[in-house]
């Protein structure tokens, strides 16, 4: 035996997936591979091998690698959105904003490869409407919090600035820039909390003195 799965067995395994099970199995395999080996390792053939199906099976759902990556990125945005939804109820919008900023950076630290895929340029996101929609849903959740602070609609600039604040810290942390350029040790969670507080103070000042 050469350790390879016979074609007949793989066909049987392919047939066993139905009602979306194959797609989920492929996504599970892709997510694990992305987390452990990085984006460059994620390929259709390797995903099929890990899922235990034939090399042709993934093409039932994904015409190419980019389509698979788009689904993988969309799943990441769904997880990020769930994190925000599961945050403790805040008694004020400013506390909610701080919690969202901290949750964003924690997500990046917990799932760095997924985060880089979600916000990087590995795929043309404009070509995948479902991915665009779920990413915009997450942004809209942040916008609702900013609007609750009393910012006039549509608050696009203020919402983008809040996102950029958390995103920049996440990028610095993942790229180890804090360690490289500072002569003191800074806790990332405390840093994003303080940065969010500073952002809120600046936002209030801008509203008071337009």
d(CA 83, CA 96): 13
CA distance 47 to 111: 19
Length, in residues, of the chain: 210
Residue 13: predicted pLDDT: 54
3-state helix vs strand vs coil in the chain, percent to 5? 75, 0, 25
Contact 26, 51 (CB under 8 A): yes
Residue 207 has pLDDT above 80, yes or no: no
CA distances from 26 to 37, 46, 80, 82, 126 (A): 16, 10, 20, 21, 23
- Summarised one tens digit per residue, pLDDT across range 135-145 is 999 999 999 99
- The b-or-e profile of 95-111 (16+ CB within 10 A means b, else e) is bbbbbbbbbbbebbeeb
Residue 72 has pLDDT above 90, yes or no: yes
* Percent of the chain clearing pLDDT 70 (strictly above): 90
pTM over 0.85: yes
Domains by residue range for the chain, with CATH: 7-62 (1.10.10.60), 66-208 (1.10.357.10)
Q: What is the mean pLDDT of residues 48-60?
A: 93
pLDDT, average across residues 103-130: 97
- pLDDT of 210 reads 66
- Residue 19 has a pLDDT of 43
Confidence of residue 118 (pLDDT cuts 50, 70, 90): very high
pLDDT surpasses 60 at 2: no
What percent of the chain clears pLDDT 90, i.e. is strictly above it? 80
Range scoring the smallest mean pLDDT among 26-30, 42-46, 90-94:
90-94
Distance CA 41, CA 39 (A): 5
Q: Average pLDDT of 77-91?
A: 92
- Average the pLDDT over 149-168 and give the result: 97
Mean of per-residue pLDDT scores for the chain: 90
What is the rounded CA–CA span in Å between residue 90 and residue 192? 17
CA–CA separation, 153 and 143 (whole Å): 9
Return the higher-pLDDT residue of 3 and 26: 26
């Amino acid at each position: 035996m050469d350790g390879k799965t016979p074609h007949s067995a793989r066909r049987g395994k392919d047939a066993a997936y139905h009602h979306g099970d194959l797609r989920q199995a492929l996504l599970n395999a892709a997510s694990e591979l992305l987390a452990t080996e990085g984006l460059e390792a994620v390929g259709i053939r390797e995903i099929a091998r890990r899922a235990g199906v034939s090399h042709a099976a993934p093409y039932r759902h994904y015409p190419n690698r980019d389509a698979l990556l788009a689904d993988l990125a969309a799943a990441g945005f769904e997880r990020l959105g769930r994190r925000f939804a599961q945050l403790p109820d805040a008694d004020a919008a400013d506390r909610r904003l701080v919690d969202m900023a901290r949750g964003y950076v924690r997500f990046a630290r917990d799932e760095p490869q997924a985060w880089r895929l979600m916000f990087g340029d590995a795929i043309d996101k404009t070509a995948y409407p479902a991915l665009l929609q779920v990413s915009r849903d997450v942004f809209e959740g942040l916008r609702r919090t900013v609007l609750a602070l009393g910012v006039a609609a549509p608050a696009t600039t203020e919402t983008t600035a809040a996102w950029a604040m958390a995103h920049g810290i996440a990028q610095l942390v993942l790229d180890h820039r804090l360690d490289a350029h500072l002569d003191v040790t800074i806790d990332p969670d405390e840093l994003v909390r303080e940065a969010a507080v500073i952002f809120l103070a600046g936002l209030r000042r801008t509203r008071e003195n337009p």
